[in-house]
């Protein structure tokens, strides 16, 4: 795929989010679809958070562009053409993130701190006294959801930084 020069951001494209497909029940780990017809392959990988139902596996797209195959949460397509959208990852399309990504990370960090505080000082050892069990479980799930979202936002931000560094040919050692 030819690279579209600079300036375009993810907002210029239609975004297909594999996490949203899962939330809406369009894909299911139980059925293990290996492909979303006409779009891309789907892979189910351990999220690394918790072991409860629904947390063990999370879906990823494999970017369908030749020579890429990167594991991504979101694929982008052109909304304004009659052609097949030709789904591709952000890297293949050379898209930038809008500045809002930084805001999203900050917002999720605040949300995470609040959710964590509600769980008491040591939720790994005990629930706060006088809190109902169901409430504790619900708050725990909410906290994990936020953590997953936050870790993904941080990952996206890091990948964006790495791409910028590569583009700008800034030397870095990891």
Please state, in angstroms and rounded to a whole number, the distance separating the CA atoms of residues 128 and 139: 11
Q: Name beta bridge partners: 57.
A: 46
Q: How far is the CB of 156 from Zn ion (least distance, A)?
A: 14
Count CB neighbours of 110 within 10 A: 11
- Binding span for Zn ion by CB under 5 A among 36-44, 69-77, 143-151, 166-174: 69-77
Q: How far is the CB of 6 from Zn ion (least distance, A)?
A: 17
Q: Which member of 68, 101, 154, 159 binds Zn ion (CB under 5 A)?
A: 68
Site for Zn ion, residues 83 to 102, rule: CB under 5 A: 89, 92
Q: Is 74 in the site for Zn ion (CB under 5 A)?
A: no
Q: Is 65 in the site for Zn ion (CB under 5 A)?
A: yes
Q: Is 36 in the site for Zn ion (CB under 5 A)?
A: no
Q: Is 18 in the site for Zn ion (CB under 5 A)?
A: no
- Which residues, other chains included, contact 144 with Cβ-Cβ below 8 Å and sequence gap of 6+? 49, 50, 55
Burial class (CB in 10 A: 0-12, 13-18, 19+), 105: middle
- Binding span for Zn ion by CB under 5 A among 36-44, 81-89, 109-117, 147-155: 81-89
Which helix (H) or strand (E) is 72 found in, with range?
strand 71-72
Positions that interact with Zn ion (CB under 5 A): 63, 65, 68, 70, 89, 92
């Amino acid at each position: 795929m030819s690279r579209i020069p600079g300036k375009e951001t993810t907002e210029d494209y239609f975004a297909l989010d594999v996490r949203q497909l899962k939330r809406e029940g369009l894909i299911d780990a139980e059925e293990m679809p290996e492909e979303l017809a006409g779009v891309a392959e789907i892979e189910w990988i351990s999220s690394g958070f918790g072991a409860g139902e629904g947390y063990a596996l999370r879906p990823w797209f494999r970017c369908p562009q030749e020579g890429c195959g990167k594991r991504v949460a979101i694929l982008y397509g052109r909304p304004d053409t009659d052609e097949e959208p030709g789904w591709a990852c952000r890297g293949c399309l050379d898209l930038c993130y809008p500045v809002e990504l930084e805001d999203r990370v900050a917002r999720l960090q605040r949300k995470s701190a609040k959710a964590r505080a509600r769980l008491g000082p040591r939720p790994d050892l005990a629930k706060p006294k006088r809190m109902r069990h169901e409430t504790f479980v619900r708050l725990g799930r909410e906290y994990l959801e936020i953590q997953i979202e936050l870790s993904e936002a941080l990952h996206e931000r890091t990948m964006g930084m790495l791409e910028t560094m590569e583009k700008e040919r800034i030397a870095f050692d990891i």
